[in-house]
C-alpha cells in the first residue's frame, strides 16, 4: 500500500480553515469575548494568535548593550539577514513599539531569534530591554521586514560602514554569510572605545581568521571618521557594494560622498530614527473624525506621538517614515513633514494620505481615524 504523504502546503490551509470554523463556533459560547482570548491565557505563542514572542534570556554585550533572545510565536516567518523586527513591549505599563535589527543566525536549533539593543540616554524601550527585562516577558511582534539586505547574488566585494548600534543589522548579515561564499568583506566600525564595540570579540575573531577585514575606529581617542578617510582606508571603494548604518549625520555625509563619486546606486543605508528637520511649524488642533478625540499638538511632535499620548489607538509602524504602517487620510487642514519641512494641505474630499509618524500639525487639521 502506498501512503500518500500530503504536502504541508496543502494541509496547512485546510487545517487553518477548520480551526477558524471551530473558533467561530466556540465564539457562540464565549461572546462578547473571543475563544482566542481564553486560548491566549494558556498559550500566547500558539499558531493563529496575534504574533508575540517570549523573552528567553538577555545577554550583556557591552556596558550599555545587550542581546535579547526571543522565542517567537509559531506563525513567525524566517527573516532575511539584515532585516529588523518591530517589538511592542510594555514599559511602565504603556505599550511601546520599536524596531530592532535581528542579529542571530537563521534556523537556530532552539527556534529563537535575537535582537541586540543599545541603551540610549532617556530611551524608554532600549533601557528597559537592556537593563530591566526579565526572562519570561511576553512581547508583541510584527513579522521581520526591511530592505537592508544582501541581494540574491552576493556581491564579490562588500563594504560595511557602521557606528555604534549600527553594527547590529550588519552582524545579522555577517553571521549568516555562508562559508562557501567568498565575498571580500571590509567592515569599518566606529565606537567610543574598544570596550564599547558591540560584538567586539566576535568581530576581531572574524578578522583574525581572515574572513573579514576589520577597521575599528575608537572615536574617544581617534576622533570621528569622515567619508574621505573611509575612502582612504578602502581604496577600492568604488568597486564595492556598500551598506551603512549609524547616526544620521554619518549617513548623510556618506550619501553625499557616494553621490559625488557617481556611485550613489552602490550605497544602501539604514536609518534608525527619522531625520527630523527642526520644526518652525506652529502646531494646531488635531481632530480624529471617527473616534472624536481632539488634541492640541505642537509643530515639532509627530501626530502619532501626540495622539498616543492622548490615549488614541493609532496604527503605527517603523516610526521613522519608511514603512507606511501609520498612514491615515488627512481630511482637511495642514500637516508638516518633519523630515523635509514640506507642508501638505487637504480640503474635504481630498483624503490625502499622510504618515502620522513623521507629520506634525501645521495648523488645525482633521484626520479620519
Partner 1 sequence: MTVIQKKSDNPIDHLSAEDVELLGKQLDAIRQSVLDDRGESDARYIRTVIDVHRKLELGSRAVLLASGFPPAWVLGTIGLSVAKILENMEIGHNILHGQWDWMRDPKIHSTTWEWDMASPAAQWKHSHNQLHHTYTNVIGKDNDLGYGIMRVDEDQKWVPAYLLQPVWSFINACFFEYGIAAYDLELGKVIAKGQTKDPEFRRRAKEVLRKIGRQVRKDYVVHPLLSGPNFVPTLAANFVANVVRNLWSNSVILCGHFPEGVETFEKRSIDGETKGEWYVRQMLGSANISGSKAMHLMTGNLSHQIEHHLFPDLPSNRYAEIAPKVKALFEEYGLNYHEAPLPQQVYSAWHKIFRLSLPNGWLDNTTPKNLPSQLVKLWKMSTGSKTTRRQLLQAEAA
Interface residue list for partner 1 (CB under 8 A): 28-33, 37-38, 41, 90, 92-96, 291, 308, 311, 313
Closest CB 322 distance from partner 1, rounded Å: 22
Dihedral angle of Cα 194, 195, 197, 201, to the nearest 10 degrees: 90
The smaller minimum CB distance to partner 1, of residues 38 and 324, is found at 38
Please check whether residue 104 is in contact with residue 95, taking contact to mean a CB–CB distance below 8 angstroms. Answer: no
| Closest CB 312 distance from partner 1, rounded Å | 8
- The smaller minimum CB distance to partner 1, of residues 29 and 178, is found at 29
Of the candidates 307, 365, 314, 297, the one whose C-alpha atom is nearest the C-alpha of residue 335 is: 365
Q: In whole angstroms, what is the distance from residue 340 CA to residue 276 CA?
A: 8
What is the DSSP secondary-structure string of 109-166?
Answer: TTS-EEEEEEPPTT-HHHHIIIIIPPTT-EEEE---B-S-S--SS--SEEEEEEEGGG
Report the C-alpha gap between 243 and 269 in whole angstroms.
6
Q: Determine if the peptide bond prior to 130 is cis (ω within 30°).
A: no
- Kindly tell me which of 259 and 313 has the beta carbon lying closer to partner 1: 313
8 Å CB contact between 111 and 101:
no
Nearer to partner 1, 129 or 177 (CB): 129
| CB nearer to partner 1: pick between 187 and 304 | 304
- Which lies closer to partner 1 via its Cβ, residue 179 or residue 290? 290
Instruction: Tell me whether residue 136 is exposed, middle or buried, using C-beta atoms within 10 angstroms of its C-beta: 0 to 12, 13 to 18, 19 or more.
Output: exposed
CB of 274 to partner 1, least distance (A): 20
Query: Which residue number, 8 or 292, has a Cβ lying nearer to partner 1?
Result: 292
Nearer to partner 1 by Cβ, of 35 and 299: the residue is 35
Q: Smaller CB distance to partner 1: residue 97 or 199?
A: 97
The minimum distance between CB 92 and partner 1, in angstroms, equals: 4
Minimal distance, residue 133 CB to partner 1, in Å: 12
CA neighbor of 361 nearest in space, from 322, 313, 310, 323: 310
- Gyration radius of the chain's alpha carbons: 23
Distance of closest approach, residue 192 Cβ to partner 1, in angstroms = 32
Cβ proximity of 269 and 147 under 8 Å: no
Q: How far is the CB of 139 from partner 1 (least distance, A)?
A: 12
DSSP, collapsed to helix, strand or coil, labels residue 42 as: helix
- Residue with smaller CB distance to partner 1, 23 or 352: 23
Q: What CA–CA distance (Å, rounded) separates 20 from 27?
A: 10
Place of cell 564599547: 196
Min dist CB 173 to partner 1, Å, is 33
First and final CA of the chain: distance in angstroms? Answer: 60
Q: Could you tell me the smallest distance in angstroms from the CB atom of residue 316 to partner 1?
A: 10
Q: How far is the CB of 138 from partner 1 (least distance, A)?
A: 11
Distance (Å, rounded) from C-alpha 335 to C-alpha 254?
Answer: 30
257-278 burial code (b ≥16 CB/10 A, e <16): bbeeeebeebbbbbbbebebbe
Amino acid at each position: 500500500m502506498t501512503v500518500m504523504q500530503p504536502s504541508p502546503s496543502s494541509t496547512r490551509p485546510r487545517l487553518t480553515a477548520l480551526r477558524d470554523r471551530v473558533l467561530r463556533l466556540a465564539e457562540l459560547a464565549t461572546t462578547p469575548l473571543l475563544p482566542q482570548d481564553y486560548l491566549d491565557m494558556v498559550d500566547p505563542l500558539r499558531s493563529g494568535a496575534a504574533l508575540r514572542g517570549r523573552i528567553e534570556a538577555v545577554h550583556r554585550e557591552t556596558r550599555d548593550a545587550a542581546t535579547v533572545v526571543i522565542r517567537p510565536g509559531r506563525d513567525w516567518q524566517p527573516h532575511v539577514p539584515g532585516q529588523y523586527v518591530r517589538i511592542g513591549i510594555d514599559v511602565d505599563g504603556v505599550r511601546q513599539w520599536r524596531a530592532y535589527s535581528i542579529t542571530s543566525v537563521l534556523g537556530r536549533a532552539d527556534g529563537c531569534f535575537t535582537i541586540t539593543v543599545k541603551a540610549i540616554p532617556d530611551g524608554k524601550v532600549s533601557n528597559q530591554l537592556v537593563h530591566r527585562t526579565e526572562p519570561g516577558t511576553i512581547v508583541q511582534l510584527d513579522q521581520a521586514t526591511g530592505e537592508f539586505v544582501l541581494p540574491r547574488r552576493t556581491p564579490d566585494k562588500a563594504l560595511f560602514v557602521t557606528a555604534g548600534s549600527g553594527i547590529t543589522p550588519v552582524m545579522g548579515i555577517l553571521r549568516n554569510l555562508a562559508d562557501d561564499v567568498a565575498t571580500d568583506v571590509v567592515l569599518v566600525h566606529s565606537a567610543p572605545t574598544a570596550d564599547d564595540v558591540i560584538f567586539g570579540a566576535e568581530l576581531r575573531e572574524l578578522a583574525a581568521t581572515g574572513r573579514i577585514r576589520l577597521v575599528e575606529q575608537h572615536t574617544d581617542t581617534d576622533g570621528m571618521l569622515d567619508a574621505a578617510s573611509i575612502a582612504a582606508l578602502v581604496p577600492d571603494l568604488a568597486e564595492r557594494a556598500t551598506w551603512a548604518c549609524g547616526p544620521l549625520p554619518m549617513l548623510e555625509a556618506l550619501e553625499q560622498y557616494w553621490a559625488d563619486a557617481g556611485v550613489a546606486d552602490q550605497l544602501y543605508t539604514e536609518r534608525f530614527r527619522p531625520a527630523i528637520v527642526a520644526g518652525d511649524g506652529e502646531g494646531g488642533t488635531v481632530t480624529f473624525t471617527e473616534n472624536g478625540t481632539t488634541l492640541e499638538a505642537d509643530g515639532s511632535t509627530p501626530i502619532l506621538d501626540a495622539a498616543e499620548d492622548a490615549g488614541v489607538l493609532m496604527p503605527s509602524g517603523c516610526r521613522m517614515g519608511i514603512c507606511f504602517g501609520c498612514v491615515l487620510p488627512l481630511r482637511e487642514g495642514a500637516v508638516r513633514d518633519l523630515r523635509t519641512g514640506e507642508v501638505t494641505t487637504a480640503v474635504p474630499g481630498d483624503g490625502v494620505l499622510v504618515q502620522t509618524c513623521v507629520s506634525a500639525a501645521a495648523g488645525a487639521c482633521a484626520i479620519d481615524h
